[in-house]
Chains A and B, each alone.
Chain A
Amino acid sequence: MLLISCPYCGVERPETEFRYGGEAHIARPADPSQLNDEEWAQFLYMRTNTRGLYAERWRHAHGCGRFFNAVRDTVSDKFVCTYKAGEPKPDLDALARASQEKDAR
């Protein structure tokens, strides 16, 4: 069972308190009626599904109830960081380089 740190509560809690929310930083189009079918499908269904570091949404469903974002390594299942909704997406390449250097040491 994963331990996840909620940035609002400031504590680590077991995975069972949380709900997964899919990829983070996907902006809803300002005017959906202006999109053609392909663009709408792109927004609705297409995700990067990265092998490695992935920014994703989680909801502390059985805690504070709030959505937040996390960077998780989809290979090792390790959480690199969590941050509040609205904060900018971290530089995933820089994070990946940093964690590689840490492993090499």
Chain B
Amino acid sequence: MSAHSQKSTQSARLAHGGRIDRSRTLQFSFDGKVMQAHPGDTLASALIANGVHLVGRSFKYHRPRGILTAGSEEPNALVGVYRHGDQTPNLRATQVEVYEGLMAISQNRYPSLDFDVGAINDVLSPLFPAGFYYKTFMWPKAFWDKVYEPVIRAAAGLGKPPKLADPDHYANLYAHCDVLVIGSGPAGLAAALSASETGARVILCDEQAEMGGSLLSETGSTIEGLPAAEWVAATLATLAARDNVTLLPRTTAFGYFVQNFIALAERVTDHLAQPGANLPRERMWQVRAKEVVIAAGAHERPMVFPENDRPGILLASAGRTYLNRYGATVGRRVLVTTACDSAWAAAFDLADAGVEVVAIADMRATPPEHLREAAARRGIRVEAACVVTGTSGRLRVSKAMLGRLRNDGSVVSAGDVTCDAILMSSGWTPSVSLYSQSRGKVVWNAEHEAFLPGASVQRERSAGSCRGVNGLAAVLEDGYAAAANRQRRPQPVPRARADA
């Protein structure tokens, strides 16, 4: 399929940038509509590049749902993907990789995504304030089997289960290593480097197709004099050349059992258009590790405001990832609403790529001076002590209502802005789930305003932002140190510099 033979459907794909392979164009379909993408796209990035944000309906009220994140934490964009004449339900569009001929469908809508009968529940929601109470539907008794239950079953639930027997096969294997590193962002890469320097057997796994984590969405930061993405490539080449290192991309660590017994699920063929018949669909690795480094990163938190669930409203880091990693913009007029510094980087990157940033609304009374100066240089309107009080737009956000926070805590209107996307961030929550699975107890940290890993119960260390370390240089150093105390010879830590 050549890019030149037909008109591009990718209205929100920017002319430059991203890590996608623009030399090849793929075709995929979503609810039967054929669209184009490039190798390296996820289904979510491809849909965004095609200007599609409406991807599903909510669980009970069937409210329109859009893509919220760019990773495995995606709560909304659950889709079904057809394969071998049947479909697998409830896959996250942010994790599904696009291949030639991919067929995906939205879920939980009837009869179609943009006209949904179940959405009447949304209008009636004052009658059912906390969702369906099944007891409400118990009377008269004879109605249950014939009327209530079939309707509730059709309205609730998500994807449809597959109908045919699973034609795939799945492999199982055991592995032993000295150090298992979970996560290949800056902390994980640094940990894998330092652990493998002395010949220790290292397994580095990451749930994404490409290793590098947050560094793949970075702009302007350098490590050891290299742009972040180039340092990732050089580091992965170094690791791949070491016989004692096993790299496992597309591999999710999903279970942490006693005595450092870890279960990993590797997705082997789901991303291939024509998988070889001999390949298993997935491999389950059961790893016994002498030491484990958890470098699972952190999850961004949304801003809480009325109607923050409309399609077109995403996390700020996701907007930045779609821009920098996939060369796609979440909108043409983007509002950024935040209570922390990191969302400003998304606004700056979008503005530098030629996308209109209509305003940065920061809840804080005095956002840092250097950020306000950087916004002024780009001509971005900044509203301090400002929050979003509501949004409108039926199937995609089209307007945001702003409010000014006053000293007494009250909010007065600060006017409306038209926008077709909102990026939001209220800060970051360390991902402590694997640490908790290792039987560790999290401890509240007032300075970070987060629960952080406490004492280790097993031979395990958390490194980087999953234990509250912030800033690229500090995260690299922490990752390096997490695996370095096992060796005699101290190694120089990679030097990082982050530019605003």
Contact = CB atoms under 8 A, between A and B. Distances in A.
B381 interface: no
Interface string B412-442: 0000000000000000000000000001000
Nearest to B455: A103
B457 A76 contact: yes
B257 interface: yes
Interface string B251-274: 000000111010000000000000
A76 B439 CA distance: 9
A98 interface: no
A1 interface: yes
Interface in A68-93: 76-77
Query: B-side binding surface: helix, strand, loop or mixed?
Result: loop
Interface residues of A, number: 5
Contacts of A77: 258
B257 A1 contact: yes
A76 B440 CA distance: 11
B457 A3 contact: no
Contacts of B261: 1
A3 B458 CA distance: 13
Interface in B57-76: none
A77 B439 CA distance: 11
A76 B259 CA distance: 10
Contacts of A76: 439, 457
A1 B261 CA distance: 7
Interface in A1-57: 1-3
A2 B439 contact: no
Nearest to A77: B258
A78 to B, nearest CB: 8
Interface string B221-260: 0000000000000000000000000000000000001110
B259 A2 contact: yes
A77 B457 CA distance: 11
Interface string B440-458: 0000000000000000010
Nearest to B439: A76
A1 B288 CA distance: 10
11 contacts: A1-B257, A1-B258, A1-B259, A1-B261, A2-B258, A2-B259, A3-B259, A3-B288, A76-B439, A76-B457, A77-B258
Interface of A: 1-3, 76-77
Given A2-B258, A3-B259, A76-B457, 8 more contacts: A1-B257, A1-B258, A1-B259, A1-B261, A2-B259, A3-B288, A76-B439, A77-B258
